Amino acid sequence: MTRIVFFYNAGSDNPYMTLLTGALRRAGYDVACVEGCSPWWLWKNRNLVDILHFQWVQYFYVGGHSWSSTLWALIFLAKLFLARWMGFKLVWTVHNLMPHERSPGLGDRIAHGGLAFLADEIVVHCHAAAALLQKTFVTRGRIHVIPHGHYAGWYHENTSRSEARAYFNIPESEYVYLYFGSIRPYKGLERLIRTFRTLPAGSLVIAGNPSDSRAEGKIRKWCRDDPRISLHLSFIPDAQVPCLFECCDSVVLPFSDVLTSGSAILALSLGRPVIAPSLGCLPELVSGRLGLLFDPESPSGLENSMTEIRHRHYSSEEIKSHMREHYDWRDIAKCYGALYGRKARSH
């Protein structure tokens, strides 16, 4: 049996890894998840593990100074060379070409560029990402387009629309836009808030955990004196997520920089149309049946989409059905299985 170890920061609250590893285990693969990758760990497991699969890797080398990030990235690169020398096969899933919040120094370029070159197999979630990867880095491994799976069934959808509206004190007839996700500079929230405030009607709910108190302060300042905006600036437990999406009519994700968007996949999985920029994987994800894309370079692009979507009809059940059909974890596990199978080694 092929034995796979995933390296990722287990502190993440994203259910992506739980759903992916669960699907692989159901498909019959021996899967483990770890954070560290020391030379001693590699030596101990050289005859026990076939595949080392990396996800987000910035935690391997993040540091407070340019010299420390660069040094840790070089150490990470040395571990990759050591792993290849010991006979491990390396796989990398590229969620972002480079981290949104860059490390000081050369750490990001060394770690991501080195991994792109040394990986035997590279996974991206759309064809646009594959093209960008080849344009940005030198790669020696094969690039595979495997979709990001849906989140249908992860959350217990047991709240009605009327109950959700009552909880947020929003009238039944009001059109509600939702932003859901982490609060970071590249998320484009200032543009969203300024755009919404020009609209004559509707409500906006912003829910997510700010990166720090400074980011929270900016959001509160931008929303000041507008009672139509409801802020929920904290970690949102899984039990409350369905209520947020049941309350809204559409989800707005005004990113300034994006490759793969778990927030967009979550919104569609819960049956809500998405407004998003035509960037990264989003044009391959969001069709006319699922929402609207806007030109991020157009000053009026977001405003026009937020106005137009109110005049369109979307079926929540059709959106959910589309996601279950095209982004099913069983099919995704088969794709990974074909990838892993070619690289399994005998013990």
Confidence bin at 158 (pLDDT 50/70/90):
confident
Q: Are residues 166 and 299 in the same domain?
A: yes
Find the length of the chain: 347
Segment 176-195 shows an average pLDDT of 92
In this model, does residue 14 exceed pLDDT 90?
no
The fraction of the chain above a pLDDT of 90, given in percent, is 70
Q: With contact defined as beta carbons under 8 Å apart, do 77 and 111 qualify?
A: yes
Pair (140, 170) in one structural domain: no
Q: Are residues 222 and 127 in the same domain?
A: no
Task: Indicate whether 165 and 259 sit together in one domain.
Answer: yes
Whether 17 is covered by a domain: the verdict is yes
Domain contains 318: yes
The Cα 101–Cα 66 span in angstroms is 14
In a domain, 66, yes or no: yes
Do residues 194 and 102 share a domain? Answer: no
Residues 6+ apart with CB under 8 A from 169: none
Q: Domain for residue 144, yes or no?
A: yes
pTM of the model: 0.92
Segment 229-282, tens digit of pLDDT: 999 999 888 888 999 999 999 999 999 889 999 999 999 999 999 999 999 999
Q: Are residues 316 and 175 in the same domain?
A: yes
Kindly tell me if the per-residue pLDDT of 345 is higher than 50: no
* pLDDT for position 105: 82
Q: Are both 42 and 188 inside the same structural domain?
A: no
State the pLDDT at residue 118: 96
3-class SS letters over the chain: CCEEEEECCCCCCCCHHHHHHHHHHHCCCEEEEECCCCHHHHHHCCCCCCEEEECCCHHHCCCCCHHHHHHHHHHHHHHHHHHHHHCCEEEEECCCCCCCCCCCCCHHHHHHHHHHHHCCEEEECCHHHHHHHHHHCCCCCEEEECCCCCCCCCCCCCCCHHHHHHHCCCCCCCCEEEEECCECHHHCHHHHHHHHHHCCCCEEEEECCECCHHHHHHHHHHCCCCCCEEEECCCCCHHHHHHHHHHCCEEECCCCCCCCCHHHHHHHHCCCCEEEECCCCHHHHCCCCCEEEECCCCCCHHHHHHHHHHHCCCCHHHHHHHHHHHCCHHHHHHHHHHHHHHHCCCC
Asked whether residue 334 is domain-assigned, the answer is yes
The reply to whether 196 and 291 lie within a common domain is yes
Range of the domain at 34: 3-149+328-343
Is residue 106 domain-shared with residue 189, that is, in the same domain? Answer: no
User: Do 280 and 181 share a domain, yes or no?
Assistant: yes
Q: Does position 2 have pLDDT exceeding 80, yes or no?
A: no
Q: Are residues 121 and 40 in the same domain?
A: yes
**Could you tell me if residue 154 is inside a domain?**
no
Q: What is the mean pLDDT of the chain?
A: 91
- Which pLDDT does position 346 carry in this prediction? 42
For residues 318 and 183, state if they share a domain.
Answer: yes
238 located within any domain: yes
Q: Looking at residues 130-142, what average pLDDT do you find? A: 92
Q: Please, what is the end-to-end C-alpha distance for the chain in angstroms?
A: 10
The pLDDT of 190-207, averaged and rounded, is: 94
pLDDT at 12 (0 to 100)? 55
Q: Please report whether residue 197 resides in a domain.
A: yes
The fraction of the chain above a pLDDT of 70, given in percent, is 97
Q: What tens digit of pLDDT does each residue of 271-315 get?
A: 999 999 999 999 999 988 999 999 999 999 999 999 999 999 999
**How many domains in the chain?**
2
For residue 130, the domain's CATH number is 3.40.50.2000
Which of the four pLDDT bands, split at 50, 70 and 90, describes residue 343?
A: very low
Sheet holding 229-232, edge to edge: 229-232, 203-207, 176-180, 250-252, 274-277, 291-294
